[in-house]
Structure 1
Amino acid sequence: MMDFWKTEERLWREGAPAYEELMTGDCIMVFGPVGILERDRIAESIRAAPRWSSVEMSDQIVREHGGKVVILAYRARAEREGGGAYDACCTSTYIREGDVWRIAHHQQSPV
């Protein structure tokens, strides 16, 4: 099984290319101040934002369902170069498409 925590870190740090590679075709994401986004708007929004230079995840919980769905819940503390810290409670849902795991949903609630 893939290392979901490393994948989450990739999404925080690598930006649009990682999202485009890892998202399902019908992925949805909810970002506190931005709102509800679908796949095309997700990639567009990520391209427009500076990437995070670091992210620390704590209070990590993993739930696996039937070998086809994995849900992550965690608290993130991230920083951008020249910017302040960002704290959020997050969830991500991954689904298995054949032999590949893809992110179908992600949510961030600023703390």
Structure 2
Amino acid sequence: MTLSLDELWTIEHDGWTSLCQGRGGTFYGELMTNDAIMILVNGTVMDRKTIAATLDGAPEWASFTLDDARLVKTGSDSAALVYRARADRGTHETAFEATMTSVYRVIAGAPRLTLYQQTTTTH
């Protein structure tokens, strides 16, 4: 299976939508490999178990926009998706803006998230 930009872009949109609906832990708990990690913009590193246990209770995003997607092949069954994200919680706090990198690998015929990293664009 070859990973495509359209396929991974859809997964990323679905992930952000899950964060807006308070079900990010469930979504990412199913999508991530057992050894996957997320590196957040503040430097926090979270494993799959922590993500699955905590994201369903995290504050929800009110809206988001994703753009500038680029697919970088990393192997015959893996690829990285790099894109910009902007998200807002609908409060007076500053909107979140970062460049994201999501690395996927095909496992049992399906794309699975192995590494996710946020890099701030506001500093």
Q: TM-score range by the shorter chain?
A: 0.7 to 0.9
Deviation at 1:83, TM superposition (A): 5.2
Which residue pairs with 1:6 in the alignment? 10
TM-score when normalising by structure 2: 0.79
Greater radius of gyration (CA): 2
Give me the CA root mean square deviation: 1.8
Is 1:105 matched with 2:82? Answer: no
User: Could you tell me which amino acid in structure 1 is paired with residue 83 of structure 2?
Assistant: Y
User: Could you tell me which amino acid in structure 2 is paired with residue 42 of structure 1?
Assistant: I
Question: CA contact under 8 A between 2:33 and 2:113: conserved in structure 1?
Answer: yes
The SS at the match of 2:50 is helix
1:49-105 Cα deviation digits (max 9, x unpaired): 222232211221102244310101111111123354110011000000021111011
Distance 1:107 1:65 in 2: 16
Question: CA contact under 8 A between 2:29 and 2:49: conserved in structure 1?
Answer: no
Query: After the TM superposition, which residues 26-41 of structure 1 pair with which residues of structure 2 at under 5 Å, given as runs?
Result: 26-33=35-42, 35-41=44-50
Which structure features the higher share of strand residues? 1
Equivalent position to 2:98, from 88, 98, 106: 88
Distance 2:92 2:76 in 1: 39
Q: How many residues align?
A: 111
Question: CA contact under 8 A between 1:9 and 1:55: conserved in structure 2?
Answer: no
Distance 2:31 2:63 in 1: 20
TM-score when normalising by structure 1: 0.86
Is 1:49 matched with 2:58? Answer: yes
Distance 2:16 2:63 in 1: 8
Could you tell me the percent identity over the aligned residues? 32
Query: After the TM superposition, which residues 63-82 of structure 1 pair with which residues of structure 2 at under 5 Å, given as runs?
Result: 63-82=72-91
Distance 1:100 1:13 in 2: 20
Where do 5+ consecutive residues of structure 2 fail to align? 19-23
The SS at the match of 1:82 is coil
Distance 1:80 1:34 in 2: 21
